[in-house]
Amino acid sequence: MSTVLIIGAGGVGRVVAHKCVQNSETFTKIILASRTLSRCEEIASELPSGTVHVESVDADITADVVELIKKVGADIVINVALPYQDLTIMDACLETNVPYLDTANYEHPDTAKFEYKEQWAKDSAFKEKNLMALLGSGFDPGATNMFCAYAQKHYFDEIHTIDILDCNAGDHGYPFATNFNPEINLREVSANGRYWENGEWIETKPLELHMPWDYPEVGIKESYLLYHEEMESLVKHIKGLKRIRFFMTFGESYLTHMRCLENVGMLRIDEVDHHGQKIIPIQFLKTLLPDPASLGPRTTGKTNIGIVAEGIKDGKPRKVYIYQIKDHEECYAEVKSQGVSYTTGVPAVIGAKLMVEGTWNMSGTINMEQLDPDPFMEEMNKQGLPWQVKEL
Ligand SMILES: NC(=O)c1ccc[n+]([C@@H]2O[C@H](COP(=O)([O-])OP(=O)(O)OC[C@H]3O[C@@H](n4cnc5c(N)ncnc54)[C@H](OP(=O)(O)O)[C@@H]3O)[C@@H](O)[C@H]2O)c1
């Protein structure tokens, strides 16, 4: 018996709500809360009547989240709002003694920089209350951290290099749209790249380094080096690691549009004066672009996200590729969402399930690879994200 409070009713929130209903033996009461109540109502109307209760909340205000947690009697909070709300929701969980889970690390709205520093700073507060805050239980971060932990546990004595390879070969038919929140997505992709080698972070210009990679069931795609948040925790927790990089594929049309928008100032995150009114260009752009949640019915193709780890087993070199392939149309048929939201929302529900069932039971702020990967990997196979391992 557990009551789950989902905060955020966007693309990912929809998948989380659908999947919690599918797991109703674990989540006996489901509440979906977001800033705009109508978005929660729309999602609830897709599910059997009475299975999802809706609430409105401004998660930027800790006191309001505290009040909601108490009102609904939540046993766990799944935060799938935006990274800007991570700290306020964590504080509300601390105040009400309720475990916390999210899929993206904290970002300040005024600085396009994401890091775990401020969330990790709450580690001792969560430990003192014997509470768990699971950070980054989406796909990447999330499943990718689990793939690394699984490789470490079952395939290697020591991992020396990891490449995380994220390919979305989906086609939504628009010349330009983002698969998740446009503001978060464009801030991430237009930022400088960064990877870690021999104990140091090496910075690159945006999209400066790239390589072709042959993604199983997708084909060869140019893949661009980005900074991605799971690397910050993996360098701490994977022993013997000498290098870690993150690559993501982008189509030519996406890159050309993004460069053009950047050149004309549409990706700016500071306020500009427009006919006496203050606007933030990237937020205005978000208003113009297709809502990621609307891409579901028109997206075809597959996602393929995985890791390639290289290292030593029993004194011999070894190279292993662990990956997951998901078809966008299959996702839409199941939960009315495209694959990017699906592959994020399902790991969030798996993480929450393992927490409320007590399989994962630690206290403090925990990154995924600190936990036993086996139950998570098993659940991935059951919950719609089957994965494969290939020796290279
Ligand atoms: N780890 C991964 O693999 C991964 C991949 C993709 C996305 N993500 C993360 O998943 C999260 C959700 O992404 P998404 O694509 O679902 O975004 P989205 O479609 O933009 O949805 C965000 C939702 O949060 C709500 N929200 C925003 N500010 C709020 C506030 N102050 N109080 C309450 N609700 C608020 C929005 O409400 P309104 O409708 O009122 O705006 C919206 O319903 C993001 O943090 C994103 O970074 C993680």
Start-to-end C-alpha separation, the chain: 44
pTM for the whole thing? 0.94
**pLDDT tens per residue across span 288-302:** 999 887 888 999 999
Question: Is residue 183 very low, low, confident or very high in pLDDT (cuts 50, 70, 90)?
Answer: confident
80 lines ligand 1 (CB under 6 A): yes
Which one, of 321, 319, 353, 339, lies nearest residue 384 by Cα?
Answer: 339
Question: Does 113 have pLDDT greater than 90?
Answer: no
345 lines ligand 1 (CB under 6 A): no
Q: Which residues pair with 161 in a beta bridge?
A: 243, 310
- Closest atom of ligand 1 relative to the 39 alpha carbon: 39
Q: Which ranges of the chain would DSSP assign to H, the alpha helix?
A: 11-22, 37-45, 62-72, 86-96, 117-120, 123-128, 143-154, 182-189, 230-237, 252-263, 281-288, 328-335, 339-356, 373-382
Residue having the nearest C-alpha atom to atom 19 of ligand 1: 10
124 alpha carbon – ligand 1 mean position (Å):
27
d(CA 286, CA 176): 12
- Give the three-class secondary structure for 286: helix
Length of the chain in terms of residues written:
392
5 alpha carbon – ligand 1 mean position (Å):
15
Instruction: Look at the block and give the residue holding tokens 């990447």.
Output: 140
Kindly report the backbone phi and psi dihedral angles of residue 388, in degrees, each rounded to the nearest multiple of 5, phi listed first: -135, 155
Average pLDDT, the chain: 95
**How far are the Cα atoms of 79, 357, 365 from residue 361, in angstroms, in the given order?**
19, 9, 12
Longest dimension (CA), the chain: 68
Task: Give the DSSP per-residue string, 130-184.
Answer: T-EEEE--BTTTBHHHHHHHHHHHHT-SEEEEEEEEEEE--B-S-SS--SS-HHH
Question: Is residue 112 very low, low, confident or very high in pLDDT (cuts 50, 70, 90)?
Answer: low
**pLDDT tens per residue across span 209-219:** 999 999 999 99
How buried is residue 76: exposed, middle or buried, by Cβ count under 10 Å (0-12/13-18/19+)? buried
How buried is residue 205: exposed, middle or buried, by Cβ count under 10 Å (0-12/13-18/19+)? exposed
**pLDDT tens per residue across span 305-351:** 999 999 999 999 999 999 999 999 999 999 999 999 999 999 999 99
262 lines ligand 1 (CB under 6 A): no
**pLDDT tens per residue across span 218-254:** 999 999 999 999 999 999 999 899 999 999 999 888 8
Percent of the chain whose predicted confidence (pLDDT) is above 70: 100
**How far are the Cα atoms of 177, 182, 207, 274, 346 from residue 281, in angstroms, in the given order?**
16, 12, 22, 10, 32
Structure tokens given for 304 = 């393929």
Q: Which residues pair with 101 in a beta bridge?
A: 78, 134
Which one, of 231, 210, 217, lies nearest residue 164 by Cα?
Answer: 231
Question: Does 50 have pLDDT greater than 90?
Answer: yes
Structure tokens given for 133 = 């805050």
Encode 243-280: b = buried (16+ Cβ within 10 Å), e = exposed: ebbbbbbbeeebeebbeebeeeebbbeeeeeeeeeeeb
- Is the separation of the CB atoms in 321 and 307 below 8 Å? yes
When pLDDT is averaged across residues 159-171 and rounded to a whole number, the result is 96
Question: Does 111 have pLDDT greater than 90?
Answer: no
Residue 357: its H or E element: none
Percent of the chain whose predicted confidence (pLDDT) is above 90: 88
When pLDDT is averaged across residues 377-385 and rounded to a whole number, the result is 98
d(CA 318, CA 83): 37
Kindly report the backbone phi and psi dihedral angles of residue 110, in degrees, each rounded to the nearest multiple of 5, phi listed first: -90, -5
Structure tokens given for 13 = 């929130």
339 lines ligand 1 (CB under 6 A): no
- Closest atom of ligand 1 relative to the 60 alpha carbon: 31
